[in-house]
Amino acid sequence: MPSINVKWQKEKYTIDVDTTQPPLVFKAQLYALTQVVPERQKVLITGKQLPDDSWDGFTIKDNMMIMMMGTVGEIPKAPELIASANGSTIAPNAEEMNALYPVGMVNLGNTCYFNSCIQMLKEFNELKLDAENVRKIENGPQKLAGCVSDLIKRLRDREYAIKNKGNAVQAINAVLNLSQSFPQFEQFKQQDANECYVALLNTLIRAYKNAGIDISPYFTVETITKAKCIETEGEEELKTDSHNQLTCYINQDVRFIQTGIKAGFSEEMERNSEKLGRNAKWQKHTEISRLPKYLTVNMNRFYFKESSKTNAKILKSVQFPISLDVYDMCTQELKDKLTTRRADIKLEEDSKLERELRKKMLDKEQAEKIFDDGVALSGEFENDFGSNNSGFYELRGIITHKGRSSNDGHYVAWIRSTDDGKWRLFDDDHVTIVDEEAILKTAGGGDWHSAYVMVYESRVIKKYPQLPPAPTSAEVAASEPMEISSSNH
């Protein structure tokens, strides 16, 4: 890897250049040193200006001197829609909108883990803020939160997607600020997607709270753990905890995600017993005491392999459902509270079945008058915003990993859109529609993509209006046209 000298104004920098990565990565290195954003950089090598996407036509040698021109300034804002002669904006048609939105993200060199996390975070409705609150986040003390908020804004903005012709979004500023806020995320090297997801989510939660908005209840799982010494009577402990995700522990007996989560809820361990005055065996058991709107599950697929000094991957297949019910993992108190809304699910399913049967009894015109759109019931407890009051979840998105180690391979995000209900694969700058069967194939078991971070969202339960009484057989017969037979005499 050649080491070159870069002259900028009165300064000179020595930088290692990896020409196997696009020049945009090199410009990101320059930004980290000079704070001149790539959009403002003019890099000259032997008199020619270096583009963002290719080193073709440029020979890089050790100790060579190149020049960079550009001034420090803010990252250019997203362009406005084109205004017409009468002052109105030109709106894209539906076909253009579908073709260009949603958009992907540029891989800046091993940043697929970061791209996948951002694509997942942009799906949370609670991160859709008005302009005033967005400014509070962007101007707050946590610069990373401002960069991520700006990214989410651009990825959601359909008008921006059309104006930008559907081109992938670049996240240079955010990636650099990630490594500054969390030094373990070294720039432009493959990192662990789950660690990144947790770091970004916690950063946003803190920044939103500083701006006067509490989003933590939408992600917080609360648990109660009971620990009991099994070598003596009367020695017990009770502990409450809060988490932003559950863990699915994978071993030879785990075939389903529910089993893996429960595996972490029961454990036998050795610890000090005050009664016995020595270490003794303890049994602990954990139950969920509060459920959030968004339930994140981390598949514990990586372990440190001493021989290779890497975080090796467990390739075992672990099946997961599109619809997840966690009722039997909850405390009895929470189960009692979940009962009411769970009864509404039975009513919802009965109403749907009744509508289907009624339609079969009627002609097409009459059947079309039976509407299928019920009214969504509240999904949270009255005194606990951001909670789940049924215990049922629907899979919203997955971050998967392909490879044998967390330090290499490739991460992508699979997300179900609330706009059209379709699943999409976000593979850096490539966005494609996929079917549900492709999602279920990420259960693992080989070198294909394996589910690593899973996000479930509270199931929407609806109440349907009562149908009028069904027509009797005599009424149905009377409404049918009478068949008149004729005979020739």
Tokens 């009692």 correspond to what residue? 336
Tokens 């270490």 correspond to what residue? 279
**Backbone phi and psi for residue 46, each to the nearest 5 degrees, phi listed first:** 45, 45
- Per the annotation, the verdict on 285 as an active-site residue is no
Overall size of the chain counted in residues: 489
Q: Judge residue 229's burial from the number of C-beta atoms within 10 Å of its C-beta, 0-12 exposed, 13-18 middle, 19 or more buried.
A: buried
- The answer to whether 127 touches 215, Cβ cutoff 8 Å, is yes
- Per the annotation, the verdict on 229 as an active-site residue is no
Count the Cβ atoms, other than its own, within 10 Å of residue 284. 16
- The answer to whether 52 touches 43, Cβ cutoff 8 Å, is no
Return the DSSP state at 328: G
Containing 283, the helix (H) or strand (E) segment is strand 278-290
Catalytic choice (248, 401, 410, 430): 410
Peptide bond into 102 cis (omega under 30): yes
Cα distance between residue 219 and residue 293, in whole Å = 7
Of residues 298, 317, 322, the one with CA closest to residue 449: 317
Catalytic choice (112, 117, 147, 229): 112
Containing 265, the helix (H) or strand (E) segment is none
- The answer to whether 171 touches 114, Cβ cutoff 8 Å, is yes
Where in the sequence numbering do the catalytic residues fall?
Answer: 112, 410
